[in-house]
Chains A and B, each alone.
Chain A
């Protein structure tokens, strides 16, 4: 019990077998076995179970019973013509299956199908003779790759033929009448017969499709022409051997070689495409087939596929090579031994003389020009003169021995005593004398008189003037940099650029360092032996007492490695926390060549362009700083006095103490709109004056509009502050798609403000983006109407008549706001509609921002200065959008006055 409780059981237990019953293991008899299809129904039935099932249990019905087809057609709904039914539509699923009567399998498309398959399908015969000979490749049968790779498209020739009206299966040639065709067919058959009997290879018997079907009847019908029959062109192989007909001997090539040469190359390419190249002419001993070894009484070789070739046979005991050599050595007439006559017979081409230009210099243009190639003479000459100083060195080797001797302070050796010396042992004597002389001169060498560098060393030999300057520079022995500059400046020619001057200075300093004669750079690195010897002698002269040893003790840090400490059984000094002084010691004693060259002019520092700002050339600096279209908006004449400040105006916002105007703005911030009139006046006064000619007084309108905006609760402050804080922000009016995108959300502008003559005040001009669409459209219209010469207008050409409709439809979204606006509008300004002009809040805020311009407040009334002011403001708020805006402005203004036109023209010329 306990055990059973602990057991776990999975699955259902089998029925316990009765012990009495013996399990019947009788196999099912054949009669009882029934073939069933996938549906589980009996597949074969009938008398001999030979019939097979079809349909639904061999009926035309279905599970739901049989329903006759219905046909319905009315006048309104005509019955569609019935779809052509295919036999497959009446088949069962199993019929379409793998073992059915119409198996549906995946097979290659016709284009890719094998040719024979294609032939099978299309019933066309392919030209057999045109195919490459089978079995010539290394692998017997159809060339392997050809089977694998098939051209998808026809050959070009076939395509051309097809385009000319040829169809596969037809022959090529002019159309024939019946009679002609018959004759041709007869000829073809004859030829075919001949080919069959005497041809090289057995040919498949040509099927004659259309022979003499209807010969007698339409004999006289000359009008009907037929395409000529296709026939196999017969290729006659010239017989080159003396074997029996159509016998080819054993190939002498090894099995895998296609080359005609008897010696097979080891790694020869196997031509899988069959023998595309012409088979080389067979040698005398080309024997093919099982010619040898099968006697009358011998059995035929079982292995009929064996391919014997001649390489397996030895033809001589001796080596072949000498024989061949002998053959080669047959002397030919008129031919030098070892050469052979040219049999190609290529005619010598007649050389034609060409009239060359007199100054023509032959040059192979295909030849790659390299720096090693010889230069043309002129260039070489030029270069030579330019680099002469390089060749001649720096003047160090220009001295002859006499000069050198003079420099060293040697006395001139008399020639005569040398000759008088005994010549018995010249080498010894000379050696001795030389040694003596050298010893005598030791002092001279070590303490050579420091001659002036100018005499001996001429580093700037190429440039005499420069050399002169250098000498003067050396003589002056200046060390102060400014002094040197002054000195050089006094000598240098005026034509020399400042940069060159700087470079020359550096060069001179450098050269002076390097070419110090004997006191030069190397001098402090070496000690002449003479000095050492002298010291030694002195030391030796001292008495032993004098040269008493003085012990010196120096201590330094030294870090033993931890392993060494371990091995010595010593704790590491300072717990191993010592610095590693080794590296310092390592690097110090190393003397690098570059240490000597560190003063070279070729250091990086020297290659920095000296920062010289020429004074005499005034750089057009502002141009670089400013965007190119900046000066455009202001009229040139009027702005003359104020232009420079505009230019130098920084693009960034600078917070300057508030101007009176600003203060006024601040004060009026919390006031009701009606009280702000003064403020607006102060801001927009100037423009009023400027534009009084064309515009009716607009102040009340502005006032109203401002009030309106206030009433609408537009977030003027926030927008202005954003613009103020984010300098980089593109505040230019939205253009193109963006205009459509941003406009509706940002600015619910009044629908019917309709100022008939749009004359934007300056402040407004900057905020073109906030104008309602309608207004803009109107402006455009006005623009179009205005007689502006087309060259004065910038940007893409405007359509002549702008459709109004789309604007209205687009503004549908703002309909509600518009309605509200309208309402407000009617409340505030129902009478003065025409004269009104709306002002944006933004303009107010911009006036707040325009702190910089506040100093010029008084000049606002100035008719000429007003615009400049406004443009200035625009700079502040958005310097980036200037160019665009100016363009727009110019467009708008073009209608106004001659002056403005003139301005825009000027602007253009500036561009």
Chain B
């Protein structure tokens, strides 16, 4: 177990795209994406804070985005009920996928970025074939009884967290749907790196660690304030710390095992909900979104300096 080091603010980026709805790292964490309420997606260098590209084409607020494994494409979800598959370099929308009956809340790629999975307010999880030019989903899963807040996938499973308080695991290999009922509306879901556990941020201001195999509740992390916000949570690259946003301008870092608060990151004294965050896939680095800004937090200063 490595020693915990406090996170320090590295960069603050004013995204200038209205309220930032989501911040995401790309596959290796060298770039980051911010989804704005001005219907645009912006690609940044999180270290330097340089705007690399703006992707405009959505008709409503962008709620989520994900980069492909080769970082050449972006898929984004929007409240305009569509998913857009972007070409990173040209900034042009390659494909617009429309089948959701409601605004799309979340989107993700599978490992080799051949399938995009989206979940929306229409309670449906849809799998899109990216390889072909098919414009209708490969598969639609409509088991959820409420809005899908997060979709996640690994080699053989698709996870879908819903506001109906369930985490649904679609096991492609087994052909089985496992529904783990938490009971509280789940606002966000993150996978641990070892794919053994799920971190579920719940509506009742509790982050819960769920066991994938048994469906058991491993631990609960309390301390932050969720209120009624859609607050995201995450797990750091070392699989030892859990991080979550808070409604009062803070972010909390919990110890995975001891469930105690390791660090309360004071992002802003002015309040504001820290609703979106992203953890670096490799390093101890995090992105937070609060209001119009994106914050980059990191533990080791040296590396950053070296990079600079």
Contacts and interface: CB of A to CB of B under 8 A. Distances in A.
A585 B140 CA distance: 12
Contacts of A558: 141, 143, 170-171, 175-177
Interface string B273-292: 00000000000000000000
A583 to B, nearest CB: 12
A564 B181 contact: no
B48 interface: no
B175 A574 contact: yes
Interface string B137-160: 011011100000000000110000
Interface in A100-142: none
Interface stretch (B79-87, B91-99, B210-218, B239-247): B210-218
Interface in A519-559: 549-559
Contacts of B181: 551-554
Contacts of B112: 569
A549 B175 contact: no
Nearest to B154: A568
Contact of A573 (B173, B179, B183, B217): B173
Contacts of A554: 178-179, 181
B215 A553 contact: yes
A237 interface: no
A836 to B, nearest CB: 95
A553 B178 contact: yes
Contact of B176 (A555, A564, A567, A586): A555
Contacts of B177: 555-558
Secondary structure of the A contact surface, majority rule: mixed
Range of interface residues on A (Cβ < 8 Å): 20 to 34
A561 B138 CA distance: 7
A567 B180 CA distance: 26
A550 B178 contact: no
B139 A567 contact: no
Contacts of B179: 552-556
A552 B181 CA distance: 5
Interface string B100-130: 0000000000101011000000000001010
Contacts of B170: 558, 560
A567 B215 contact: no
Nearest to A558: B177
Given A568-B115, A586-B142, A573 B172 contact: yes
A581 to B, nearest CB: 9
Contacts of A567: 110, 114-115, 129, 131, 138
B255 interface: no
Contacts of B265: none
A555 to B, nearest CB: 5
A564 B112 CA distance: 13
Contacts of B216: 551
B174 interface: yes
B279 to A, nearest CB: 24
Contacts of B24: none
B183 to A, nearest CB: 5
A561 B182 contact: no
A550 B183 contact: yes
Contacts of A552: 179-181, 183, 215
Interface string A568-586: 1111111000100000011
Contacts of A555: 176-179
A554 B179 CA distance: 5
A565 B172 CA distance: 7
A571 to B, nearest CB: 8
A578 B131 CA distance: 25
A563 B138 contact: yes
B180 A549 contact: no
B39 interface: no
Nearest to B127: A564
Contacts of B182: 549, 551
A558 B144 CA distance: 13
A296 B224 CA distance: 117
Contacts of B110: 567-568
B208 interface: yes
A564 B178 contact: no
Interface in B26-48: none
Contacts of A559: 175
Nearest to B110: A568
B164 interface: no
A564 B138 contact: yes
B166 to A, nearest CB: 9
B300 interface: no
Contacts of A572: 175
B6 to A, nearest CB: 29
A58 to B, nearest CB: 94
- Which of A554, A558, A570 gathers most chain B CB within 10 Å? A558
Contacts of B176: 555-558, 573
Contacts of A563: 129, 138-139
Interface string B63-85: 00000000000000000000000
A551 B210 contact: yes
Contacts of A568: 110, 115, 155-156, 172
A551 B172 contact: no
Nearest to B178: A555
- Which of B175, B179, B217 gathers most chain A CB within 10 Å? B175
B60 interface: no
B293 interface: no
A549 B183 contact: yes
A565 B173 CA distance: 8
A173 B182 CA distance: 118
Interface string B201-229: 00000001010001111001000000000
Nearest to B131: A567
B264 to A, nearest CB: 20
A551 B210 CA distance: 9
Contacts of B178: 553-555
B131 to A, nearest CB: 7
A32 to B, nearest CB: 86
Contacts of B127: 561, 564
A233 to B, nearest CB: 85
A232 B114 CA distance: 100
A554 B172 CA distance: 16
A570 B114 CA distance: 13
A312 B281 CA distance: 90
A585 B168 CA distance: 15
A565 B158 CA distance: 12
Contact of A553 (B114, B131, B171, B180): B180
B153 to A, nearest CB: 8
Nearest to A555: B178
A807 to B, nearest CB: 89
A558 B178 CA distance: 9
Nearest to A581: B177
Contacts of B214: 553
Contacts of B180: 551-553
Nearest to A577: B175
Contacts of A585: 142-143
Nearest to B132: A563
Nearest to B114: A567
A292 to B, nearest CB: 72
A570 B215 contact: no
A571 B142 CA distance: 23
Given A549-B182, A552-B181, A564 B139 contact: yes
B126 to A, nearest CB: 11
List the 7 closest A-B pairs by CB distance, nearest first.
A573-B175, A553-B215, A558-B177, A552-B181, A567-B114, A560-B172, A561-B139
Interface of B: 110, 112, 114-115, 127, 129, 131, 138-139, 141-143, 155-156, 170-184, 208, 210, 214-217, 220
Given A549-B182, A573-B174, 5 more contacts: A552-B181, A555-B178, A556-B179, A563-B129, A573-B173
17 contacts: A549-B183, A549-B208, A550-B183, A551-B182, A552-B180, A553-B178, A554-B178, A558-B141, A560-B170, A560-B175, A564-B172, A565-B172, A568-B172, A569-B112, A570-B173, A573-B175, A574-B175
